[in-house]
Structure 1
């Protein structure tokens, strides 16, 4: 449903996190759906799915990550929107928001062409966030499977 609504909109977006990993062939549970976009995309997606808002998009964060963040509940699935994500670098500075266009790849999944972030990018992002277990899982999958990067 999400991709059906967004495919005809002028929004740069991609699935990220566990939903993206499963779409790309990894085996793991999916507890929510994460969508990464830019700042404008976060607010546009929120507007397009306004009847599903649980937490409105607003700029917020933690010690290690910040974004224009909001939550939706669509068909009993938690959906998190993240626009212009910035991660805190080891130097303590915040990285600039990334340009998603170069990181998105399209995967044929259940008859749909689904935008996802490359697993290589995800691997590096999890390392910056200090989530080494997840980064190690991603690296092992990249090295030991038929996964093809962009």
Structure 2
């Protein structure tokens, strides 16, 4: 596991995993916590969870005691989803159901990430994470300056994992 992940985030991940285990909710970690768990040199300060619309509403019910903003449909220039915010162990947790990105004039679904998670073991628990290749494609497609170092670091991690480039 990455040394970059704060113990509070690990505690929050353990609680989330224990609450969602057996719930039937399809979910996957995304964003910086997913990157760090897969060896990318980033320091996460929150937890991003991708799920579908039904999953977002169910997670809201399961994590009701930690709710900051209830799950509801929200849209910005770059994203739309059934979005809710929670706080666990002092860590911000964002849940995004049926997340879509606005790229090249159209809304693109990220639901395929729920079908192809990579499973990472952390302190005895199994966490589904979004594949590095999928996250790299999203960051590149969005083209935001703030993501340029993440793009570079994901490429570095993929190169370490696959030194032949095959």
Fold agreement, TM-score > 0.5: yes
Equivalent residue number for residue 125 of structure 2: 112
* Alpha carbons of structure 1 residues 35 and 9: separation in structure 2 relative to 1, 3 Å: same
Alpha carbons 2:55, 2:97 under 8 Å: kept: yes
The answer for unaligned runs of 5 or more in structure 2 is 1-14
Q: Is 1:12–1:100's contact at 8 Å kept on the other side of the alignment?
A: no
TM-score (norm 2): 0.81
Structure 1 unaligned blocks of 5 or more: none
Number of positions where the alignment pairs a residue of Structure 1 with one of Structure 2: 146
Tell me the distance in 2 between the aligned counterparts of 1:74 and 1:145: 32
Distance 1:145 1:96 in 2: 27
Q: Once structures 1 and 2 are overlaid, which stretch shifts more, 127-136 or 1-10? A: 127-136
- Asked if the contact 2:78/2:102 (under 8 Å) is kept, the reply is yes
What is aligned with 2:114?
A: 101
For the residue of structure 1 that corresponds to 2:108, the secondary structure is coil
RMSD: 1.7
Q: Give the Cα separation in 2 of the matches to 1:126 and 1:89.
A: 11
Q: If the length of structure 1 is used for normalisation, what is the TM-score? A: 0.90
Q: Is the 8 A contact 2:84 2:94 kept in 1?
A: yes
Q: Residues of 2 paired with 1:71 and 1:142: CA distance?
A: 30
- Larger helix share, 1 or 2: 2
